[in-house]
Structure 1
Amino acid sequence: MDIVRSLVLFGLAALAEIGGAWLIWQGWREHRGLWWIAGGVIALGIYGFVATFQPDPNFGRILAAYGGVFVAGSLVWGVLVDRFRPDRWDLIGAAICLVGVAVIMYAPRGGAG
């Protein structure tokens, strides 16, 4: 159950962070205005809280693992929202990152950690 919860939280964090950064990008670089930027700032603030709900108590571990989710999630966002077409190297890199997430977060640990 903790793994499912953790994965859902990683997904929510990615949505908030990537979506927030995208909104700021749209507001500033695409000249859509301050409301887009404000929405991005709010989404990034939400992202900041999501990690606190992870079942693992180690901030460094959670943020390190989330980095891999961010990489893969950014590519997915690009495909779905910006019609970006990743090449095989993008996909291989994202897969490597997700393997890193699994190792960092979900590898069995003894008492010594």
Structure 2
Amino acid sequence: MPLIKPLAVFFLAGLCEIGGGYLMWQWLKSGRPAWTGLIGALLLVLYGWVATWQPTSFGKTYAVYGAVFIVMSIAWAAYFDGFRPDRFDMFGGAIILLGIAVVLFWPRP
């Protein structure tokens, strides 16, 4: 259970930030209605609140979240935007996930 909560919070924060940014992008760059941008802005505000649910310090939370953001952005772009990650995208994502595990979960003395 100690692993599930921080990962779930990072995932929820990622959905809020990437989803919010994507909706803002759709509104401003693709001519979607203004309510699309409003929902995007609300999701971005929600992201800022969700990130505070992490038990770690601000610096560690945002360092690890940055890596989560990268991996989730690749997945989001593949699912919603037609981006097809190549083997280097996948390999880089795997390296980033390993880095998250070290920073967040490696036992400390």
- What is residue 43 of structure 2 aligned with on the other side? 43
SS at 2:3 equivalent: helix
State the shift of 1:83 in Å: 2.0
TM-score by length of 2: 0.95
AA aligned to 1:24 is: M
Pairing 1:52–2:52 present:
yes
Pairing 1:69–2:68 present:
yes
Asked whether the equivalents of residues 79 and 86 of structure 1 are also in contact (C-alpha less than 8 Å), the reply is yes
How do 1:22-33 residues align onto structure 2 when only pairs under 5 Å count? 22-33=22-33
State the shift of 1:92 in Å: 1.1
AA aligned to 1:61 is: K
- What is residue 10 of structure 2 aligned with on the other side? 10
State the shift of 1:55 in Å: 2.3
Give me the whole-angstrom Cα distance separating, in 1, the residues matched to 2:73 and 2:85.
11
TM-score by length of 1: 0.92
Task: Provide the identity percentage.
Answer: 45
- 1:33-89 per-position Cα deviation (integer Å, ceiling 9, x unaligned): 211111111000010011111122x11001000111000000110111112110111
SS at 1:32 equivalent: coil
- 1:4-37 per-position Cα deviation (integer Å, ceiling 9, x unaligned): 1000001101100000000000000001021111
- What RMSD, in angstroms, separates the aligned Cα atoms of the two structures? 0.9
| Unmatched tracts of structure 2, length 5 or more | none
AA aligned to 1:96 is: I
Asked whether the equivalents of residues 78 and 84 of structure 1 are also in contact (C-alpha less than 8 Å), the reply is yes
State the shift of 1:2 in Å: 2.1
